[in-house]
Amino acid sequence: MSGSHDKDLQSASARLLKQSHSRWYEWLFWAVALSLFVIFGDFIPGVPTRLMLLTEIVTLALLALSIDLVLGFAGIVTLGQGAYFGLGAYVAALLAKGGAGTFPMSDPVIGLLIAGLVTGVFGFVTSFLVLRGSDLTRLMVTLGVALILSELANQMRWLTGGADGLNGVMPSAVLGIWEFDLWGRVAYLYSLAVLFICFWLSRRIVNSPFGLSLKAIKNNPLRARAIGVPVNARLVAIYTIAAALAGIAGALLAQTTQSASPDMIAFHRSADGLLILVFGGAGYLYGGLIGAAAFRVMQDVIGNITLQYWQFWLGAVLVALVIFVRNGIIGMMVAGWARLRKGDGQ
């Protein structure tokens, strides 16, 4: 335990430098994401349009990324990220509705920024609740906040439309140029661009000294405090950032589906986000992205084969994954890669 911790600190600066360089497979990842636009954008005859599904995956990926920041890097178990996701969705939807499709209120980018700001503030306020306690306590406090917020969304009918949700949500054209279309082309490129920017920011954050101090806190909060890391301030900061990202994810979903309803803030958003992250592998940043894609595609494919019972097979995959591999899909890939290289050396 102590050995690994010391090693962390010794190699810190070297690791920081090394990690901040982008690798070839990262470029490949984003190139693939972009090429999906051409493949599934109804440009090739015979290939069905799946851009709406891909857009949904992107918003989920961003949600999972935000959870990765608090869970994978700072070690805070949260089951309440759906609260920020839903809050962001409602803020963006209300702005788009209020502006009735005109600049500046209905502008999607401005909407995203405001949604991020509002959820960031709310995240900052609520972050003080998760500074203490065990995993279970944090899990339940974050869940409690999310449940209270979702009950509020149901009760504040005058603002949120209650259980009916908001309709007439009309975000204007992205940057005043591209209107959201029925094929979801603008929606996908727009969401992917937002995901890329948020990802790049997150990558900078976790590879900074600030990010490393988070890892120290995750490994052992007491020792981190002893070596002078301002533990609480760091946790508050990362929790706030993650809340803002989750809010942006929710805002993206509200804008691209042009609606907001209580299920955007419901318990299953938080649970899905956590599930997807652990499924993909926590603590790699890419885990949430790959997890979201794998999870949703699997759900879609199995759902088309067995409409009513897809949950069985999805559950079976989750169970098998946990039993046979460590750290989700990325963990499986890393292990496979290591084995391959070992094989090369012999």
Residue 16 engages other proteins in binding (rule: CB under 8 A) = no
- First-residue to last-residue Cα distance in the chain: 31
Read off the tokens for 198.
């948020």
- Pick from 27, 43, 309, 337 the residue near other proteins by CB under 8 A: 309
DSSP secondary structure of 77-136: --S-HHHHHHHHHHHHHHHHHHHTT-TTTT-HHHHHHHHHHHHHHHHHHHHGGGSSS-HH
CA separation, residue 128 to residues 2, 60, 141, 240, 251 (Å)? 29, 26, 11, 10, 24
Burial class (CB in 10 A: 0-12, 13-18, 19+), 129: middle
Least distance in angstroms from the C-beta of 125 to other proteins = 13
Residue 48 engages other proteins in binding (rule: CB under 8 A) = yes
What is d(CA 221, CA 271) in angstroms, rounded to the nearest whole number?
Answer: 26
Return the residues of window 162-201 that contact other proteins according to CB under 8 A.
Answer: 162-165, 167, 182-184
Return the residues of window 66-125 that contact other proteins according to CB under 8 A.
Answer: 71, 77
- Pick from 237, 275, 332, 333 the residue near other proteins by CB under 8 A: 275
CA separation, residue 231 to residues 39, 123, 216, 237 (Å)? 46, 17, 9, 10
- Pick from 13, 18, 22, 135 the residue near other proteins by CB under 8 A: 135
- Pick from 92, 114, 118, 145 the residue near other proteins by CB under 8 A: 145
Residue 329 engages other proteins in binding (rule: CB under 8 A) = no
Residue 132 engages other proteins in binding (rule: CB under 8 A) = yes
Site string for other proteins, 241-270 (x = CB under 8 A): ------------x---xxx-xxxx--xx--
- Pick from 14, 177, 222, 305 the residue near other proteins by CB under 8 A: 305
- Stretch touching other proteins by CB under 8 A, among 26-34, 209-217, 233-241, 278-286: 278-286
What is d(CA 268, CA 286) in angstroms, rounded to the nearest whole number?
Answer: 22
Q: Which is nearer to other proteins, 16 or 325 (CB)?
A: 325
Cross-strand bridge partners of residue 178: 174
Least distance in angstroms from the C-beta of 20 to other proteins = 27
Q: Which is nearer to other proteins, 22 or 137 (CB)?
A: 137
Residue 308 engages other proteins in binding (rule: CB under 8 A) = yes
- Stretch touching other proteins by CB under 8 A, among 147-155, 190-198, 202-210, 332-340: 147-155
- Stretch touching other proteins by CB under 8 A, among 1-9, 191-199, 226-234, 310-318: 310-318
Q: Which is nearer to other proteins, 210 or 267 (CB)?
A: 267
Which of 54-69 are b and which e, b meaning 16 or more Cβ less than 10 Å from the residue's Cβ?
Answer: bbbbbbbbbbbbbbbb
Site size toward other proteins, by CB under 8 A:
78
Cross-strand bridge partners of residue 166: 260
